[in-house]
């Protein structure tokens, strides 16, 4: 039976929370809502207001903590919002959103969860495979059996589900070497495509060391830029160039002026007091500008031209959402008239040209794709065009998936899918077999990065997602500590003291946080102590390499793919995991999401802890740590 269509009735019990909020005659906080659902007469408000006469009273046989966690989940997915009470501005109450009301009548949340979607088959290593491994022993020596299978498989459609630290880049580059040296594939008939310049450079370096030259290694953007430069006259008819930072500032100022918007007024209406803390006016303006361009890109990638404010945005956000949407429309028109394009346009315009001129599609016999869990709809269409061209077969334009022809080797990890907020769609990796037909699925589950204790800690953090556990390779002992503090200031002082006293090289130390604010506050303390450090955030992709002696401060989004001997994850409480605040409110206001946001937050926590090789500190302030740290994980803390 298709898991996506089947949802156990018990999985829909969260609907009772939404119904209770709709039924209750006045605003309530978490405590009263939980007591109402549990039928707790100890809460005086129940008898005083005769709440026990309502339909949803005593309808949920859960603990208070479990109800609180479910409320958080519904809040993260935009079905409940926290707002200030009409009667006391210091009290936060729960409010059912329009999205929450729709969920009551048409439940969709459970179907978005990984456990209801994951149906990967597992390709077994056979005796025949082992005979081939033996014949190629000198070439495959040092790899485990699953890696060997991925490297030399003769299947035309291969999905390599590669867990954290399982050597995915090594396997991908070794497969390219195999294709060239053992299968006789011409190097220029191979395309390896990834997401970041850093990953591209790493792949090129490894191929050079393997003695393989002439393979096309691109990011999605650099591949598309090559197409646009070659066919610029046909595509645009006028000279075009990639938009610079200065162009963005000019366009933003023109948009505000044209729409009669004062920047200071926009910033105060857009950012909360907490978000404005420790930031200059210029930093806030820059963040606001980047958010507006991000929303514009979101609309481009998804193809959404119009936005229904009555359905998709709650009342308190309508003014800001309309303002940002109008700005993005102006920015888009301005870029077109000025001959400017951005990275999203590269992908859209190149794909459109190739779709309409399939005789111009470069002909590759093998396409290898890294980080497949992060692809979006436009990237998938581009891959479809490339795979169809390999056999002279028209691509399946309009279906949203690649053609079933051509050789594709996709590497990715659903456990590390953390970019749904910017348009990536985890469903493409989950539906690989469905989209491509007969496929080979190989799981790389041996982790060569972290001590076994950390690997087990990671496994327990996402045990409910239906994916196979990873197996630790290293025998050395892990050190995992959870530390609570009376305040964020005390937490920062502890982290700094541990950095100062550590005998581990500082370029082997990461300090990770969920938000930019946490990093900036820590950075100020480090500067006062004269501790050299580099900051990496998801919207400022710092190309600066970490110098010897530099500690790395990073948001979790920006650290994916990297590793360190000692890792601190700060702010491990329920304010940050799952994150209650956003550094980029526009993205939350204007776009609709087709994924489980709480589950993505849990995967983000998984990515954070999986960076650590030997020593992992989870620190927090407040009453209790994040519930992402479950009982099985606590047993591994020493």
Would you list the domain boundaries of the chain? Answer: 9-111, 127-229+350-444, 244-338, 448-634
Q: Tokens standing for 61? A: 């046989």
Q: Running DSSP on this structure, what letter comes out for residue 625?
A: B
Q: Are the beta carbons of 202 and 194 closer than 8 angstroms?
A: no
Query: Can you tell me the mean pLDDT for 366-380?
Result: 95
C-alpha dist (Å) from residue 135 to 50, 140, 369, 437, 440: 78, 9, 28, 30, 22
Q: Report the mean per-residue pLDDT for the chain.
A: 89
Within 10 Å of residue 312's Cβ, how many Cβ atoms? 17
Query: Can you tell me the mean pLDDT for 99-114?
Result: 88
Within 10 Å of residue 357's Cβ, how many Cβ atoms? 12
Q: Which of 347, 446, 359, 442 is nearest to 395 (CA)?
A: 359
What was the pLDDT predicted at 607?
98
- Please tell me the least confidently modeled range out of 114-128, 334-348, 380-394: 380-394
What was the pLDDT predicted at 420?
87
pLDDT digit string (tens) for 203-221? 999 999 999 999 999 999 9
Hey, CA dihedral for 17, 18, 22, 23, is it positive or negative?
negative
**What angle separates helix 145-152 from helix 168-181, to the nearest 10 degrees?**
40
Share above pLDDT 70 across residues of the chain, in percent, rounded to a whole number: 90
CATH code for residues 448-634: 3.40.50.300
pLDDT digit string (tens) for 37-64? 999 999 999 999 999 999 999 999 999 9
pLDDT exceeds cutoff 80 at 307? no
What was the pLDDT predicted at 392?
46
pLDDT exceeds cutoff 90 at 6? no
CATH code for residues 127-229+350-444: 3.40.50.300
pLDDT digit string (tens) for 541-588? 444 566 778 999 999 999 988 999 999 999 999 889 988 766 566 666
Output the furthest CA–CA distance in the chain (Å, rounded).
81
pLDDT exceeds cutoff 70 at 100? yes
- The more confidently predicted of residues 283 and 248 is 248
Q: Are the beta carbons of 628 and 577 closer than 8 angstroms?
A: yes
- The more confidently predicted of residues 88 and 555 is 555
| 448-634 matches 9-111 in CATH topology | no
Q: Running DSSP on this structure, what letter comes out for residue 550?
A: P
C-alpha dist (Å) from residue 145 to 13, 442, 448, 474: 43, 10, 14, 17
10 band by pLDDT with thresholds 50, 70 and 90: low
List of residues 6+ apart from 488 with CB closer than 8 A:
518, 521, 571, 621
- Please tell me the least confidently modeled range out of 268-277, 457-466, 580-589: 580-589
- The more confidently predicted of residues 63 and 396 is 63
Within 10 Å of residue 122's Cβ, how many Cβ atoms? 11
Question: For 9-111, which CATH class?
Answer: mainly alpha
393 band by pLDDT with thresholds 50, 70 and 90: very low
Query: Can you tell me the mean pLDDT for 462-467?
Result: 93
Strand, coil or helix: 499? helix
Query: Can you tell me the mean pLDDT for 230-241?
Result: 90
pLDDT digit string (tens) for 510-520? 999 999 889 99
- The more confidently predicted of residues 279 and 302 is 279
Place of tokens 């939350």: 588
pLDDT exceeds cutoff 50 at 463? yes
596 band by pLDDT with thresholds 50, 70 and 90: confident
What was the pLDDT predicted at 299?
79
What was the pLDDT predicted at 389?
59
Give 235-265 as a DSSP string: HTSS--EEPPHHHHHHHHHHHHHHHT--HHH
What was the pLDDT predicted at 321?
80
pLDDT digit string (tens) for 522-535? 999 999 999 999 99
């Amino acid at each position: 039976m298709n898991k996506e269509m089947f949802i156990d009735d018990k999985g829909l019990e969260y609907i009772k929370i939404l119904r209770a909020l709709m039924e209750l005659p006045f605003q309530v906080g978490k405590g009263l809502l939980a007591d109402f659902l549990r039928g707790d007469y100890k809460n005086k408000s129940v008898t005083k207001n005769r709440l026990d006469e309502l339909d949803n009273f005593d309808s949920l046989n859960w603990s208070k903590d479990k109800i609180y966690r479910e409320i958080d989940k519904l809040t993260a997915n935009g079905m409940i919002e926290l707002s200030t009470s009409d009667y006391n501005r210091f009290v936060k109450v729960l409010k059912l959103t329009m999205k929450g009301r729709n969920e009551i009548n048409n439940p969709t949340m459970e179907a978005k969860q990984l456990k209801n979607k994951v149906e990967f088959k597992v390709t077994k290593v056979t005796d025949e495979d082992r005979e081939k491994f033996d014949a190629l022993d000198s070439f495959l020596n040092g790899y485990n059996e699953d890696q060997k299978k991925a490297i030399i498989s003769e299947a035309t459609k291969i999905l390599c589900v590669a867990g954290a630290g399982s050597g995915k880049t090594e396997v991908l580059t070794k497969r390219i070497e195999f294709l060239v040296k053992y299968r006789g594939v011409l190097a220029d008939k191979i395309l390896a495509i990834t997401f970041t310049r850093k990953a591209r450079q790493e792949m090129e370096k490894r191929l050079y060391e393997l003695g393989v030259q002439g393979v096309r290694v691109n990011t999605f953007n650099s591949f598309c830029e090559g197409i646009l430069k070659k066919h610029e006259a046909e595509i645009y008819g006028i000279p075009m160039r990639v938009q610079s930072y200065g162009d963005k500032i000019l366009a933003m100022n023109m948009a505000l002026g044209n729409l009669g918007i004062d920047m200071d007024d926009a910033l105060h209406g857009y950012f909360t007091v907490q978000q404005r803390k420790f930031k200059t006016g210029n930093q806030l303006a820059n963040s606001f500008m980047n958010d507006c361009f991000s929303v514009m890109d979101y609309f481009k990638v998804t193809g959404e031209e119009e936005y229904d404010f009555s359905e998709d945005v709650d009342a308190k956000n309508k003014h800001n959402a309309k303002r940002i949407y109008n700005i993005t429309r102006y920015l888009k028109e301005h870029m077109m008239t000025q001959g400017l394009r951005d990275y999203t346009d590269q992908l859209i315009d190149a794909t459109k040209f190739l779709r309409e001129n399939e005789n111009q599609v470069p002909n590759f016999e093998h396409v290898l794709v890294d980080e497949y869990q992060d692809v979006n709809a436009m990237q998938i269409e581009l891959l479809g065009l490339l795979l169809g061209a390999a056999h002279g077969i028209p691509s399946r334009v309009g279906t949203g998936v690649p053609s079933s022809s051509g050789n594709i080797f996709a590497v990715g990890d659903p456990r590390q899918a953390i970019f749904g907020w910017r348009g990536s769609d985890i469903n493409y990796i989950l539906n690989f077999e469905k989209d491509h037909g007969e496929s080979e699925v190989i799981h790389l589950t041996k982790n060569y990065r972290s001590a076994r204790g950390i690997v087990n800690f990671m496994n327990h953090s996402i045990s409910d997602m239906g994916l196979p556990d990873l197996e630790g390779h290293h025998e050395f002992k892990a050190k995992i500590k959870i530390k609570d503090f009376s305040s964020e200031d005390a937490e920062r002082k502890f982290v700094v003291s541990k950095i100062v006293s550590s005998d581990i090289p500082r370029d082997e130390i990461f300090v990770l946080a969920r938000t930019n604010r946490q990093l900036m506050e820590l950075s100020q303390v480090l500067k006062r102590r004269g501790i050299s450090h580099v900051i990496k955030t998801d919207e400022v992709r710092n190309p600066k390499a970490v110098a010897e002696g530099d500690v790395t401060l990073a948001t979790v989004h920006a650290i994916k793919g990297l590793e360190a001997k000692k890792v601190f994850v700060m702010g491990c409480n329920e304010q940050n995991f799952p994150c209650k605040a956003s550094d980029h409110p526009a993205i939350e206001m204007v776009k609709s999401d087709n994924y489980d946001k709480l589950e993505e937050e849990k995967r983000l926590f998984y990515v954070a802890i999986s960076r650590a090789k030997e020593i992992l500190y989870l620190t927090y302030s407040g009453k209790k740590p994040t519930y992402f740290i479950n009982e099985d994980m606590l047993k591994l803390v020493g």
